[in-house]
Amino acid sequence: MDELARKSLDEFKRSEKFPVIIVLENIRSMHNVGSVFRTADAFLIEAIYICGYTARPPRKEIDKTALGATETVNWKYFSCANDAVKELRENDYNIFAIEQVDKSISLEKFEKLNPNKVALIFGNEVSGVESETISLSDGCIEIPQFGMKHSLNISVAAGIVLWEIVRTRII
C-alpha cells in the first residue's frame, strides 16, 4: 500500500476536492451506488447527492463495491432530485444530466464548456434521468457510443464522465 502512495483517511478528508457533485436519482442497484462511491473517492469528487429511492449507506450491498468509500466521500440524501437541484443552484453549481436527448452535448465537446462548479445527474438504470429533472438542468451530456445498445451501466457511465471532467482540470 505504501508503494501506491495512497492517502490515509485523514489525508483524504483534508485533500482539496474537485468541485463536482454527483447526483444519483432513483438508482435501483446498490452495487451501482457503491461503485459510484468508489469512483468518486478515486477522483476526489466533492460529494454525492442521493435522491429518491436510491439506497444510502450503510448497506452491505453498497459496501461490497464501495470498499470503504462511503466513509471517505461526503454524501447527502434528498427525497427528490428537485430539492437537490435547488440546493445546487443556491450554491452556484452548473447542472448537467447525463442523458441522451435532443441537443445533448457530446462528452468530448463538454471540455470547452467545463464550468468550475458542476453537478452531474445520473438516472435510473432503465428509465434514465426523469424529464422534470432534465428540465431543471442547464443541459445534458451524452457519452458517444457506436454499437447497437447505445446505453451503459450507470457505474460505467459515471466512471467515463468523471474521468473526462477531472482530466480536463488536471492537464
Please tell me the distance from the alpha carbon of residue 166 to that of residue 162, in angstroms, as a whole number: 6
Question: Per the omega criterion (within 30 degrees of 0), is the bond before 19 cis?
Answer: no
Q: What is the mean pLDDT of the segment spanning 136-149?
A: 93
For the chain, the structural domain boundaries read: 2-170
pLDDT band at 155 (very low <50, low <70, confident <90, very high): very high
pLDDT band at 2 (very low <50, low <70, confident <90, very high): low
> Structure pTM?
0.94
pLDDT digits (tens, 9 = 90+) for 33-68: 999 999 999 999 999 999 999 999 999 999 999 999
C-alpha distance from residue 152 to each of 1, 70, 102, 159, 170 (Å):
32, 23, 18, 11, 26
Q: What is the mean pLDDT of the segment spanning 138-165?
A: 94
- Cβ-defined contacts of 61-64 (< 8 Å, 24+): 61/30, 61/31, 61/34, 62/30, 62/31, 62/33, 62/34, 62/37, 63/34, 64/31, 64/34
Query: Could you tell me the end-to-end alpha-carbon distance of the chain, in angstroms, rounded to an integer?
Result: 26
- What one-character-per-residue DSSP string does the chain give? -GGGTPPPHHHHHHSPPEEEEEEEES---HHHHHHHHHHHHHTTEEEEEEETT---SS-HHHHHHHTTGGGTSEEEEESSHHHHHHHHHHTT-EEEEE---TTPEEHHHHTTT--SSEEEEE-BTTTBS-HHHHHHSSEEEE----SSS----HHHHHHHHHHHHHHHHH-
Question: What pLDDT is stored for residue 7 in this prediction?
Answer: 83
Q: What is the mean pLDDT of the segment spanning 155-165?
A: 96
Question: What pLDDT is stored for residue 9 in this prediction?
Answer: 81
pLDDT digits (tens, 9 = 90+) for 98-123: 999 999 999 998 876 667 899 999 99
Domain 2-170 architecture? 3-Layer(aba) Sandwich (3.40)
Question: What pLDDT is stored for residue 111 in this prediction?
Answer: 73
Please tell me the distance from the alpha carbon of residue 156 to that of residue 159, in angstroms, as a whole number: 5
Question: What pLDDT is stored for residue 49 in this prediction?
Answer: 98
Question: What pLDDT is stored for residue 114 in this prediction?
Answer: 65
Question: What pLDDT is stored for residue 21 in this prediction?
Answer: 98
Q: Is a pLDDT exceeding 60 seen at residue 1?
A: no
Question: What pLDDT is stored for residue 116 in this prediction?
Answer: 85
When the pLDDT of each residue in the chain is averaged and rounded to a whole number, the result is: 93
